[in-house]
Amino acid sequence: MQTTNLIQHHRITHLRLTTLTTTTPHSPRIALTLARNFTMSSHLAKTQEPTITRISNLPTTEAKWVALKKIEFIDQLGKPRTWEVATRKTRSARAGVDAVAMGNILLHPSRPPSTVIVIQYRPPLDAYTVEWPAGLIDEGETPEEAAVREFKEEVGYDCKVVSVSPVVAADPGMSSANMQLVMVEARLEEGDELPEQRLEDGEYIQRVVVPLSEFYERLVEYSKKDRMVVAAKLFHFAAGMQFARTEGYGIYEKVKN
- Residue-wise pLDDT tens for the chain (257 aa)? 333 333 333 332 333 332 333 333 333 333 333 333 444 444 457 788 999 999 999 988 899 999 999 999 999 999 999 999 999 998 878 888 999 999 999 999 999 999 999 999 999 999 999 999 999 999 999 999 999 999 999 998 899 999 999 999 999 999 999 999 999 999 998 877 778 888 877 778 899 999 999 999 999 999 999 999 999 999 999 999 999 888 866 655 544 44
In sequence order, which ranges of the chain are alpha helices (DSSP H)? Answer: 3-8, 30-37, 143-154, 215-223, 232-246
Residue 58 located in a structural domain: no
State how many domains the chain has: 1
In a domain, 121, yes or no: yes
Q: Is 209 helix (H, G, I), strand (E, B) or coil?
A: strand
Domain assignment present for residue 60? The answer is no
Residue-number span of the structural domain to which 100 is assigned: 3-47+67-246
Cβ-contact 113, 107 below 8 angstroms? yes
Query: Could you tell me if residue 253 is inside a domain?
Result: no
Is 15 a domain residue? yes
First to last CA, the chain: 47
Residue 43 located in a structural domain: yes
| 142: in domain | yes
Q: CATH code at 177?
A: 3.90.79.10
* Predicted local confidence at residue 8, as pLDDT: 35
CA angle 184, 45, 31 (to 5 degrees): 65
Q: Is residue 186 part of a domain?
A: yes
